[in-house]
Structure 1
C-alpha cells in the first residue's frame, strides 16, 4: 500500500479496481478531484504508485495504491481488507478484465480451438468472479449506511457474442447479469448499481490526442476516458428516484451506429 496523505476524506473512499493508464486512471482522477479518498487497485504496484503520486500531486488528493489479482480470491480479500481498514467505501468501480492482447494492448481474437482452459477460466474469473467478490465485500457497509454506488465497466462483448472473443464475452456477459441482479436486490436498500456498456475502444484523454485522432482517425482513439469518467460521476450523483441501471456509451462516429 502506498499512502499519499494523512487522513481519509469524510466523503469516504472511491475504490477503483483495474487501473491502467486510460479509463481507470481517468476515473480515479475524477473522483479524487471531487474530494474523495481514492484507492486504486491493479496487479502492477509499481505503476500504481506512479499513478497515485500523479493524482495526488495534480488533484491535491489522498490516494492509496493497493495490489490486487482479481483472478485470485485470496488476493481480492486481502486487498479489500486493506481498503476497508482505511474507512468506508462509498463508490466501487470495477474496471478489470483479462484480454488476450496484441502489441497495442487492445484485445485481439483467438481461435476457439487454441484457447486453453486455464486462460479461459482466468479471463472469466477476472471479468466476473472478481467483481462478485469485490461487491460482496463492500455491499454490507453500503447497506448499513443506506447509500453507496457500484459501477461495472462492460463493453460491446457484454451484449453480443463475437467470433474469436469467447473468453472476453463469457466474462462480460456474466458481469452484466451480476449487475442486473445486484441492482434489483440492493436498489431498495439505497445502493445504486449500474453497468456501463462502452461500445468502442478507449484511447488516451482527448487533450493527449493529435487533431487527426480527435476527428476519429483511428478506432483505437474513439472513446475519451475523461468523458467516460464524467459519466461515471453523473451516475454516482443521480437522484435515487431516477437511477440508471445500464447505459451505453459510444462515439458519434457513424461507423458505430
Structure 2
C-alpha cells in the first residue's frame, strides 16, 4: 500500500510542483485548498484526491484529516504550504487583513501540525514540512504582517522539532529566499535565471522526507545563485 502525502495549500506554482513530485515518486497524494475547482485539473493529471479546507479554521482542518484517513489512510508526509500576504505602511494597515494573514501563516500551521502529530505519534513516525520565507529571518519595511506570520511559523517548527524528533517524527522548515518562477505572472516571476524553480524546490521537499533519522535537516534555505542575502 502506497504511503500518503497530504499537501495543504495548493496553487499553480509550488503546490502543483509538490503534488506532481510526490505522485511521481509513488505516493498517494491528497491536495487541500480553499476552492475545489482550483484542484480539478491537477488531480485529474496525477490521480490525486482533492479536498476543500480552510487552514485557518480548526474544524475544517479536523474534517480534512478525517476524510483523508478514511479515503487514503493516515498521511506519512504532511506539507504545510498555505500562505497569505498583506503589506503596507504600519499606520495604514487594515487590521482585519493582518489578522487573516496571521491566521493562515501561523495559526493554520499550528492547527495542521496538531492534527498531523496526533496521527504520527500513534504510528511512531512521520514527516512534517513547512514552507517558510526570508521574512521569517528578517523583517522588511512595510511587511510587518508577513514577517510576524513567518517568524511565528519558524518558532513553531523549532518547537515541534525539539518535541517530536525523539518520537521519530521529522519536522523541517524550508526558507524560500527569492521569487518563485511563474511565467504567467510576468516580471519579475518570469525569468528562469533569477527565480526559484518550483520543481527544484519540490525535489528538496521529497529529499527531506527521505532523510535517515541519523542525519535529519531541521531548517534549510533555498535561493537562486544570484540572490543577494
TM-score (norm 2): 0.92
Asked if residue 227 in structure 1 is aligned to residue 200 in structure 2, the reply is yes
Which residue matches 2:56?
Answer: 71
Which residue matches 1:192?
Answer: 170
Q: CA deviation at 1:256?
A: 2.1
Q: CA deviation at 1:98?
A: 1.1
| Structure 2 residue corresponding to 1:251, chosen from 213, 220, 224 | 224
Give the unaligned 5+ runs of structure 1: 1-9, 57-62, 101-108, 206-211, 217-221
| Structure 1 residue corresponding to 2:122, chosen from 131, 144, 162 | 144
- Residue 141 of structure 1 aligns to a residue in which SS? helix
Which residue matches 1:37?
Answer: 28
| Structure 2 residue corresponding to 1:117, chosen from 95, 104, 107 | 95
Q: How does 1:97-116 map to 2 (within 5 A)?
A: 97-100=83-86, 109-116=87-94
Distance 1:85 1:153 in 2: 26
Q: How does 1:162-241 map to 2 (within 5 A)?
A: 162-204=140-182, 213-216=191-194, 222-241=195-214
Check whether the contact 1:11–1:90 (CA below 8 A) recurs between aligned residues: no
Structure 1 runs of 4+ off > 3 angstroms? none
Which residue matches 2:131?
Answer: 153
- Residue 230 of structure 1 aligns to a residue in which SS? helix
Check whether the contact 1:92–1:149 (CA below 8 A) recurs between aligned residues: yes
Question: Residue by residue, what CA displacement relative to the aligned partner does 1:146-204 show, whole Å, maximum 9, x if unpaired?
Answer: 21100000011011111111111111111100000010001011100000000001113
Q: CA deviation at 1:226?
A: 0.3
Which residue matches 1:48?
Answer: 39
Check whether the contact 2:17–2:198 (CA below 8 A) recurs between aligned residues: yes
Question: Residue by residue, what CA displacement relative to the aligned partner does 1:85-142 show, whole Å, maximum 9, x if unpaired?
Answer: 2211100000111113xxxxxxxx4121221222111111101111111111111221
Which residue matches 1:219?
Answer: none
- Residue 39 of structure 2 aligns to a residue in which SS? helix
Asked if residue 83 in structure 1 is aligned to residue 68 in structure 2, the reply is yes
Asked if residue 95 in structure 1 is aligned to residue 81 in structure 2, the reply is yes
| Structure 2 residue corresponding to 1:28, chosen from 16, 19, 22 | 19
- Residue 96 of structure 2 aligns to a residue in which SS? helix
